[in-house]
Amino acid sequence: MKKTVLITGASRGIGRATARLFAHEGYQVAINYHKSKQAAQELEAELTSEGCTAMTVHADVSNRDQVFEMVDKVLFSYEQIDILICNAGIANYGLITDFTEADWRSIFAVNVDGIFHAVQAVLPHMIHRKAGKIITASSIWGLSGASCESAYSASKAAVIGLTQSLAKELGPSGICVNCVAPGATRTDMISGFSPEALEAFRMETPLERIGTPEDIAKTYLFLASSAADFITGQVISPNGGYII
Active-site positions read 152
Is 150 a binder of ligand NAP (CB under 6 A)?
no
> Do 218 and 160 contact (CB within 8 A), yes or no?
no
| # binding residues, ligand NAP (CB under 6 A) | 30
Residues in contact with ligand NAP, shown as a per-residue x/- string from 34 to 53 under the rule CB under 6 A = xxx-----------------
- Candidates 133, 142, 81; CA nearest to 111 is 142
Residue 230 Cβ vs ligand NAP, minimum distance, rounded to whole Å = 25
Q: Is 127 exposed, middle or buried (0-12, 13-18, 19+ CB in 10 A)?
A: middle
> Do 126 and 81 contact (CB within 8 A), yes or no?
yes
Torsion angle of C-alpha atoms 78, 80, 82, 83, degrees rounded to 10? 60
Is 178 a binder of ligand NAP (CB under 6 A)?
no
Backbone angle region of 233, left / alpha / beta, with phi > 0 → left and psi within -120 to 50 → alpha: left
Is 70 a binder of ligand NAP (CB under 6 A)?
no
Among 5, 6, 7, 14, contact with ligand NAP (rule: CB under 6 A): 14
Among 4, 5, 7, 13, contact with ligand NAP (rule: CB under 6 A): 13
List interacting residues with ligand NAP (CB under 6 A): 8-9, 11-15, 32-36, 60-62, 87-91, 110, 137, 139, 182, 184-185, 187-190
